[in-house]
Chains A and B, each alone.
Chain A
Amino acid sequence: MSDHHHKETFVTKYIFSQDHKMISKQYLITGIVMGCIGVFMSMLFRLQLAYPEQSFSIIEAFLGRAGEGGVMTPDMYLSLVTIHGTIMVFFVLTAALSGTFSNLLIPFQIGARDMASPFLNMLSYWLFFLSSVIMLLSLFIETGPANAGWTIYPPLSALPQAISGSGLGMTMWLVSMAIFIASSLMGALNYIVTVLNLRTIGMKMTRLPLTIWAFFVTAIIGVVSFPVLLSAALLLIMDRSFGTSFFLSDIYIAGEVLHYKGGSPVLFEHLFWFLGHPEVYIVILPAMGIVSEVLATNSRKPIFGYRAMIISIIAIAFLSTIVWGHHMFVTGMNPFLGSVFTFTTLLIAIPSAVKAFNWITTIWKGNLRMNPAMLYSIGFVSTFITGGLTGLILGDSAIDINVHDTYFVVAHFHLVMGVSAIFGMFAGVYHWFPKMYGKMMNKDLGYLHFWLTAISAYGVFFPMHFIGLAGLPRRYYNNTAFPIFDDLLHINKVMTIFAIIGGLAQIIFLANFFFSIYKGKRAPKNPWHANTLEWTTEVDHIHGNWAGEIPAVHRWPYDYSKIDENGDLWGGQDFTPQTVPIRDGEEEF
């Protein structure tokens, strides 16, 4: 392919590019923009929660009529939490995380010249871009963006009479998500086909880096579960616009009985969570893959229990598709199903625990290089443990009853999938930035960014568990209507201060990121002394990745600090790239 190197115009190189490296960068930049918007929204509603009746000119400046006098309206508060959730879960942690790193690393690490279908890949990005634009446009319409929560449960999301955002705002939300799902499916199919078919000589499935295993399995769960959300969205569109009754029944609102009969909102909840739960693993698995790779490289040690890691990825993926009911223990679902879903849900703790133990064993007796990517990976393991453990409470139907839909849940999933996945993403950006842009990022700013982010992440989400245990429901515009929550206000203030510090700390990242693209020091070919194939390519991107033949692979990617029978390092260096043939007397792992 490298031989038909035809001339690229500006448009085919930077805009409608079919090159996986450019598409990966497009995903990352779009994701960063969406992420900034999502985080900024959270800072606005954190202000509202900590200072309920006080006026802030920043609120008036950005929210206009919905923030008149510097205090946001309840509808706008709900819009902000809804769009914050949607943007962060789907646009940042699904599309941008998978889109960036699957696109960048799958061809690079398996030794392929590009994706199986570069055209489909381009289409996938541009559909994602279109859906982002529609979602952002919905912020500017008269009745306000969707505000039924990111889970858009009907009837609230189906009836414009019930809440203002369920008019045009919800229509745009649904259209945007339908396009998003199409984009996500194209991407996922492409990843699966590429991993299965385009591996270089010698790259057996059991020699794939764990990143690729994670992206591959993530793509499979995406293909299995996203269509179900699409069906739910389509049926909801039918209910909203064409008078069907899939999810609606016996409703009296605004002084009249509606014609809907026989539908059930619980059906929607089943369809939604059939995607919704695998979705959290779609978010976390790529981050796990990235972290496994970064931890091994920077510990100068093989990842501990490579095969167990693969098995646990597959086990998590399988279990993730049969646990969705734990979001529905108190929805009126048959209590027997509650028992079944408790059983399957708590089982997930086993492969998750195996992974956590294996990561810790990976750093045990290593020689840790504490660069920013490594710090974020250690941070990931920490927040994953802290957030994951409370899953034992939420997944157990009986104790879920009293914490369901409280801030305890918000704290749990922000730590285990929000903060963790973002940490994984940052680890990935710091680690593969040299491969993406051929430049190095500034380390000192990276350190500062990590420490501020890690401290504020814990500062926001750890105390949040306790206001949940005090019984405070989520999605409350303010808590002043309930005197029993008066004593939670000071905790909310502390959390808001940490949230603002954490939000502002991202400015450091932005500056570092964009500065380094243009002015960063030129990266060497293999800056981290890593074993995987992407570091055998040239620093400057070329079409087709390798100028000559694609290198053949002779070993697994984790031969770090391997010693020979005399106790010396093989080849005198503490890493052995995958392209190095097995030497005489060496045992392949």
Chain B
Amino acid sequence: MKALFFIIIFVVLIVACWQFVKLLGLTKVDNQTATEKENNINGWLMLGLMGFIYGLMIYSMYGAKDVLLPRASASEEGYHIDNLFVMTMTLILVVQFIMQFLLFFFSFKYRGIDDRKAFFFADSHKLETIWTVIPTIVLSGLIIYGIWTWNNVMDSSDAKDPIFIELYGKQFQWDARYAGEDNQLGSANVRFIEGTNTMGVDMTDKNSADDIPLVVNEGKFVKELHVPKGRKVIFKIRSQDVLHSVFMPHFRAQMNAVPGMVTEIAFTPVITTAEMRLNEDTKAKFEAINELRKEKGEEAVEFDYLILCNKICGSSHYNMQLKIVVDEEADFNKWLATQNTFAQINNK
């Protein structure tokens, strides 16, 4: 019934506008297209809109600087991505400023005056050539640099002594498995899922025995995925049910988890969690966050690297996360030694 009430309000508003039109209609001089006065007002308003857009751009950039991700990429590969990003963004901002200026300034400057003649100017090969060739050159540069970066980031075939970790997505949590001593992940398929073997690892595969699963603990932030600083981590990604996406924004890394196939993404962490907590950007951001949380009576939080799910996967898609801890390599090895391999778990 309430919906009906809202619809009635909506209709009443339309009728109110309708009555307003009637009033305007009575006082209106008959002129189909815009009058000089209207051209003038709207011309000035166009300048105003330009001001609004510029203001919004500057204000957003200024105001958003504290809410963005820390500028320092937590992975080596991320540096290249960030360079390309900054270059492209600079180009975009320059072009945006110029183009919007020309558009709105011309809209203002050439606002109609009754006895002015427009300039018949239908074509100019010279101009058109200029603005076909210049974007072509600029874009060629972007394309070459972009593809170079992409290949750099995606190709991990020449990695020295990488560590393999499997990430396994399911509604609505991330599981993980380290490749163990032989640095080879045992094969797996959902058809092996049984009892405690929740990731469907093939226990008869000789590579499986030394694999180390991240022990399943329900609830958030109980599980921690540790990775070593300075060593390439190659993630092998699987999904149990629907599409998920491993999104690690601080490392500039993202890859979908696709049921029926294994996907891959790799990076070399270069900043430990402890170091990132001391980063200026992070400190500023978390001070602001904790201020807000205090107002709401929530407890203070500390920075942590995260995996978020970034492909719609069901009702609780908005809360599918895993904490990542980047350790110095020695600490990482110490931590890994405390974890149980499948062989140890199964023999218990």
B17 contacts A511, C-beta separation under 8 Å: yes
Instruction: Choose among B53, B68, B142, B152 the residue that contacts A466 (Cβ–Cβ < 8 A).
Output: B68
A486 contacts B34, C-beta separation under 8 Å: no
- Tell me whether A13 is interfacial, beta carbon within 8 Å: no
Instruction: Choose among B25, B96, B260 the residue that contacts A249 (Cβ–Cβ < 8 A).
Output: B260
Among residues 359 to 393 in chain A, which have CB atoms less than 8 Å away from a CB atom of chain B?
Answer: 359-361, 363-371, 374-375, 378, 381-382, 385-386, 389-390, 392-393
Interface size class of B (residues with CB under 8 A): 35 or more
Selected interface stretch from A25-33, A198-206, A520-528: A520-528
Given A156-B242, A369-B34, A393-B88 in contact, is the A473-B310 Cβ separation under 8 Å? yes
- Tell me whether A15 is interfacial, beta carbon within 8 Å: no
Instruction: Choose among A339, A385, A515 the residue that contacts B150 (Cβ–Cβ < 8 A).
Output: A339
Given A346-B142, A350-B136, A390-B92 in contact, is the A62-B6 Cβ separation under 8 Å? yes
CB distance from B171 to the nearest CB of A (A): 7
- Tell me whether A569 is interfacial, beta carbon within 8 Å: yes
- Tell me whether A68 is interfacial, beta carbon within 8 Å: no
Instruction: Choose among B33, B117, B142 the residue that contacts A371 (Cβ–Cβ < 8 A).
Output: B33
- Tell me whether A182 is interfacial, beta carbon within 8 Å: no
- Tell me whether B38 is interfacial, beta carbon within 8 Å: yes
How far does the alpha carbon of A482 sit from the alpha carbon of B209 in the complex, in Å?
35
How far does the alpha carbon of A528 sit from the alpha carbon of B32 in the complex, in Å?
7
B315 contacts A75, C-beta separation under 8 Å: yes
A393 contacts B92, C-beta separation under 8 Å: yes
CB distance from B300 to the nearest CB of A (A): 9
CB distance from A285 to the nearest CB of B (A): 19
B 283-319 binary contact with A (CB < 8 Å = 1; else 0):
0010011001100000001010010111111111111
Selected interface stretch from B123-131, B177-185, B210-218, B331-339: B123-131
Instruction: Choose among A153, A248, A299, A589 the residue that contacts B118 (Cβ–Cβ < 8 A).
Output: A299
Given A466-B68, A483-B301 in contact, is the A402-B81 Cβ separation under 8 Å? yes
- Tell me whether B22 is interfacial, beta carbon within 8 Å: yes
Instruction: Choose among A343, A471, A512 the residue that contacts B147 (Cβ–Cβ < 8 A).
Output: A343
- Tell me whether A547 is interfacial, beta carbon within 8 Å: no
A481 contacts B220, C-beta separation under 8 Å: yes
- Tell me whether A399 is interfacial, beta carbon within 8 Å: yes
CB distance from A327 to the nearest CB of B (A): 12
A473 contacts B103, C-beta separation under 8 Å: no
| Among B106, B127, B250, B288: residue with most chain A CB under 10 A | B106
CB distance from B281 to the nearest CB of A (A): 11
- Tell me whether A119 is interfacial, beta carbon within 8 Å: no
Given A265-B259, A350-B136 in contact, is the A477-B6 Cβ separation under 8 Å? no
Which residues of the partner chain A approach B81 to less than 8 Å between Cβ atoms?
Answer: 398-399, 401-402
The main secondary structure of chain B at its interface with chain A is: helix
CB distance from A306 to the nearest CB of B (A): 7
How far does the alpha carbon of A31 sit from the alpha carbon of B30 in the complex, in Å?
30
- When C-beta atoms are compared, the residue in chain A nearest to B240 turns out to be A252
B122 contacts A302, C-beta separation under 8 Å: yes
Instruction: Choose among B6, B22, B95, B110 the residue that contacts A367 (Cβ–Cβ < 8 A).
Output: B110
B146 contacts A342, C-beta separation under 8 Å: yes
B24 contacts A491, C-beta separation under 8 Å: no
- Tell me whether A140 is interfacial, beta carbon within 8 Å: no
- When C-beta atoms are compared, the residue in chain B nearest to A364 turns out to be B106
B121 contacts A511, C-beta separation under 8 Å: no
- Tell me whether A444 is interfacial, beta carbon within 8 Å: yes
B34 contacts A558, C-beta separation under 8 Å: no
Instruction: Choose among B33, B99, B128 the residue that contacts A369 (Cβ–Cβ < 8 A).
Output: B33
Given A265-B259, A335-B155, A469-B68 in contact, is the A396-B318 Cβ separation under 8 Å? no
B 244-260 binary contact with A (CB < 8 Å = 1; else 0):
01010110111110111
A301 contacts B121, C-beta separation under 8 Å: yes
Which residues of the partner chain B approach A57 to less than 8 Å between Cβ atoms?
Answer: 2
CB distance from B190 to the nearest CB of A (A): 4
A 318-354 binary contact with B (CB < 8 Å = 1; else 0):
0000000000001110010011001100110110011
CB distance from A28 to the nearest CB of B (A): 17
A248 contacts B260, C-beta separation under 8 Å: yes
Given A299-B110, A305-B128, A527-B32 in contact, is the A451-B45 Cβ separation under 8 Å? yes
Given A353-B131, A398-B80 in contact, is the A462-B60 Cβ separation under 8 Å? yes
B314 contacts A519, C-beta separation under 8 Å: no
A366 contacts B110, C-beta separation under 8 Å: yes
A404 contacts B310, C-beta separation under 8 Å: yes
B100 contacts A349, C-beta separation under 8 Å: no
Which residues of the partner chain B approach A303 to less than 8 Å between Cβ atoms?
Answer: 122
Which residues of the partner chain A approach B237 to less than 8 Å between Cβ atoms?
Answer: 332
CB distance from A257 to the nearest CB of B (A): 5
B259 contacts A445, C-beta separation under 8 Å: no
CB distance from A36 to the nearest CB of B (A): 9
A471 contacts B24, C-beta separation under 8 Å: no
- Tell me whether B330 is interfacial, beta carbon within 8 Å: no
Given A304-B123, A398-B153, A561-B118 in contact, is the A393-B56 Cβ separation under 8 Å? no
A481 contacts B153, C-beta separation under 8 Å: no
Selected interface stretch from A16-24, A228-236, A420-428, A452-460: A452-460
B288 contacts A78, C-beta separation under 8 Å: no
Which residues of the partner chain A approach B316 to less than 8 Å between Cβ atoms?
Answer: 74
CB distance from A46 to the nearest CB of B (A): 16
B 105-117 binary contact with A (CB < 8 Å = 1; else 0):
0110011110011
How far does the alpha carbon of A381 sit from the alpha carbon of B96 in the complex, in Å?
12
Which residues of the partner chain A approach B171 to less than 8 Å between Cβ atoms?
Answer: 162, 253
B120 contacts A361, C-beta separation under 8 Å: no
A 246-289 binary contact with B (CB < 8 Å = 1; else 0):
00111111000100001111100000000000000000000000
A74 contacts B315, C-beta separation under 8 Å: yes
How far does the alpha carbon of A466 sit from the alpha carbon of B78 in the complex, in Å?
19
Which residues of the partner chain A approach B49 to less than 8 Å between Cβ atoms?
Answer: 382, 451, 454-455
Which residues of the partner chain B approach A153 to less than 8 Å between Cβ atoms?
Answer: 243, 311-312
Cross-chain pairs A/B with CB under 8 angstroms, 10 sampled: A248-B260, A301-B120, A305-B122, A353-B131, A360-B103, A368-B111, A371-B33, A466-B60, A470-B64, A484-B285
- 6 closest residue pairs by CB, A with B: A249-B260, A511-B17, A61-B2, A332-B263, A471-B249, A370-B42
Known: A302-B120, A306-B122. 15 other contacts (CB 8 A): A153-B311, A156-B314, A335-B155, A366-B119, A381-B103, A398-B81, A398-B146, A402-B253, A405-B311, A443-B38, A470-B68, A483-B293, A487-B292, A511-B14, A589-B123
A residues in contact (CB < 8 Å) with B = 57-58, 60-62, 73-75, 78, 148-149, 153, 155-156, 159, 162-164, 248-253, 257, 262-266, 298-308, 330-332, 335, 338-339, 342-343, 346-347, 349-350, 353-354, 356-361, 363-371, 374-375, 378, 381-382, 385-386, 389-390, 392-393, 396-399, 401-402, 404-406, 434, 440, 442-445, 447, 451, 454-455, 458-459, 462-463, 465-467, 469-471, 473, 475-479, 481-484, 486-489, 491, 504, 507-508, 510-512, 514-516, 519, 521, 523-524, 527-529, 558, 560-563, 569, 574, 589
B residues in contact (CB < 8 Å) with A = 2-3, 5-6, 10, 13-18, 20-22, 24-25, 28, 30, 32-34, 38-39, 41-43, 45-46, 49, 52-53, 56-57, 60-61, 64, 66-69, 78, 80-81, 84-85, 88-89, 91-92, 95-96, 99-100, 102-104, 106-107, 110-113, 116-124, 127-128, 131-132, 135-136, 139, 142-143, 146-147, 149-155, 170-171, 189-191, 193, 200, 220, 237, 240-243, 245, 247, 249-250, 252-256, 258-261, 263-264, 285, 288-289, 292-293, 301, 303, 306, 308-319, 321
